[in-house]
Chains A and B, each alone.
Chain A
Amino acid sequence: MKMPKEKLISYLINLVGIVVLFLLFVALFQSGVLGSRTNYVKGIFTTACYTIVLVASLNLLVGILGEFSLGHAGFMSVGAYASAIFTNALAGKGLSDLALFVLALIIGGVAAGIAGLLVGIPALRLRGDYLAIVTVAFAEIIRVAFCNFAITGGGRTISGITKLSNFYWCFWVMVICVTIMYMFVRSRFGRTVKAIREDYIAAAASGINVTFYKVLTFTISAFFAGIGGAMYAHYMTAMIPTNFNFNYSAELLTEVIIGGTGSFTGSIIGAAFLSSLPELMRQFSNYRMLAYSIVLVIVMIFRPGGIFGSWEFSLVRVLKKAKNGELFAKKNKGGAENE
């Protein structure tokens, strides 16, 4: 059966929306209106791109599967180190930068995915707080292990990682990752995973292999965390295992919850906003965690489901409204999260 026509049109509209957004960014950076700040702003946007991938992948666990993970930075670090080791070995061997970048992302994703699978199989027998504790333990074990392996720098900073992550590439990686996650959620897989979140006993009684789908989701989430880690490593070009500490995992979880569990729109806007916030208020960076906590408490009091709840932005919906003349002030382009 062919794709229904209206769906095809809506996918095309979204694609056009994303391309337009991208061209706006290109124009912004190429025109030189930012002057000497161009690279600085580009850096913030690149940070936003990998943070979006990380937060969206965590949202898959927290929002769709309904399980808390406080060890997402652990999976990110597996991806970051695996990809960095890989590119260090292959740099200058004749591969183009783009090929090297894509390979690094895949290596990072697969390494983290395997870690997710290995942790997920035993850990997903647990639920709620117990699972959260296991994920914390995993991230700590990984961090300590990376501090002791020679290949990961033995506790010292490894530097000189090839700088492969630029904003333009990262933008498209982010778009592709979020689209894949979105398509996964809007399919029989996402439906099944949500059913497990709602009631795992009823899900099993509906013929669903609960453990399988939980491990699958956990693995996919870790896979994208690994891709985020690979982008991070090749943007920072230097890193130390303590970068991926508990605070970082907690920060990611905070961004998911503030944005809205189950909403990729929330993840995107939350991650983009919160990853640029510390840059914008660099002099207050010591108070960042404090600010996060306050925002989190406020959001939890007034909007327990997060700012966006499970609502998704839809460019098609906005266009329809605009056509009917009902568009008010709202005109923020979200990107890939809309169908």
Chain B
Amino acid sequence: MSDTAKEPVLKAQHLSIVFGSLRAVDDFSLEIGESELVGLIGPNGAGKTTVFNMLTGVYQPTEGAYFLCGKKMNGKKAHQVVAAGVARTFQNIRLFKKMTVIENVKVAMNMHMSYSILASIFRTPKYWKEEAEMDAKAMELLKIVHLADKADYVAENLPYGQQRRLEIARALATGMKVLLLDEPAAGMNPTETAELLDIINVIREKFKISVLLIEHDMSLVMKICERIQVIDYGITIACGTPEEIANNPRVIEAYLGKDEEEVLC
């Protein structure tokens, strides 16, 4: 089993995707080890979300391959990728708006539930057992993201920052190995961002999962990422530790040349 230990949890090899004449992502390679936290940064429109979409089966890469624990995932549908162990959140929050907070989490547990339609119609002991188990698990996850007291709220009535945290709880409910977070701090104030940082730390400690993080808040990225990969116009321009990235002239140019408000510091 020693070589599976060395195998990166998530590995992308030379991924490219073409939309019409636009090469949104070109030759993207990445390895994430067990319980590692890697940052993916780049100016707006660089192709970061597109990378997530390729890694979660939303888009199929035009070229290249990606692997989860050594298993090739190309061609798998989105729900199969989740079942294999990759979960994500969305840049523009996608909750089940009219459903309650706990229901949102329980939806993501559906693949771990096994009672049949007949069991649901006759309300068999198995139905009650599984529902009660999943309620308990969902509450545990909601506690981690500080939403336990909001379990019966309708999701769309939560304030913005809490909706983002609910998305994280929902992703956790899938029982993933790798968590992809797409700008989780976007639109949050400094207090909320600090809270989010704590939550990410707790999650990593508790579940021993790997995280790939897209984030615009540079101070956050620099603080928590072990490695950072920078893309611009779909092309990887730098890779390394936060210090290496902060001093990389190509990265500074990519950001400064773009009139971005986020200047590395």
Contacts and interface: CB of A to CB of B under 8 A. Distances in A.
Contact of B79 (A2, A179, A199, A209): A209
A3 B88 CA distance: 35
B99 A206 contact: no
B127 interface: yes
A187 B127 CA distance: 8
B83 to A, nearest CB: 5
Given A3-B123, A3-B128, A195-B96, A208 B79 contact: yes
Given A205-B87, A205-B88, A188 B113 contact: yes
A194 B96 CA distance: 8
A111 interface: no
Given A198-B96, A199-B95, A202-B94, A208 B107 contact: yes
B12 interface: no
Interface in B86-118: 87-88, 90, 94-99, 103-104, 106-108, 110-111, 113, 115, 117
A210 B110 CA distance: 12
Interface string A167-199: 000000000000110011011110110110011
Interface string A1-37: 1111001000100000000000000000000000000
Nearest to A8: B123
Interface residues of A, number: 31
B99 A194 contact: yes
B96 A199 contact: yes
Contact of A2 (B56, B104, B111, B128): B128
B75 interface: no
Given A188-B113, A204-B78, A205-B90, A2 B107 contact: no
**Would you call the interface of chain A mostly helix, strand, loop, or mixed?**
helix
Chain B interface size, under 10 / 10 to 19 / 20 to 34 / 35 or more: 35 or more
Interface in B112-147: 113, 115, 117, 120-123, 125, 127-132
B90 A202 contact: yes
B76 to A, nearest CB: 11
Contacts of A195: 96, 99, 104, 107
A238 interface: no
B94 A207 contact: no
A3 B132 CA distance: 10
A281 interface: no
A308 to B, nearest CB: 15
A123 interface: no
B229 interface: no
Contacts of B60: none
B224 interface: no
A195 B97 CA distance: 9
A96 B125 CA distance: 35
A205 B78 contact: yes
A317 to B, nearest CB: 16
B99 A2 contact: no
Contact of B107 (A4, A7, A191, A310): A191
A192 B117 contact: no
Nearest to B125: A1
A191 B106 contact: yes
A232 B139 CA distance: 47
Nearest to B106: A191
A137 interface: no
Nearest 9 A/B pairs, CB to CB: A187-B120, A1-B129, A207-B82, A198-B96, A206-B108, A202-B94, A204-B78, A195-B107, A207-B111
19 contacts: A2-B128, A3-B125, A183-B121, A184-B117, A187-B115, A188-B110, A188-B113, A191-B103, A191-B106, A194-B99, A198-B95, A199-B96, A201-B94, A202-B95, A202-B96, A203-B107, A204-B58, A205-B88, A206-B174
Given A179-B121, A195-B104, A205-B58, 19 more contacts: A4-B128, A183-B120, A183-B122, A184-B117, A187-B115, A187-B120, A188-B120, A189-B117, A202-B94, A202-B95, A204-B78, A205-B87, A205-B90, A206-B82, A206-B110, A208-B79, A208-B107, A208-B110, A208-B111
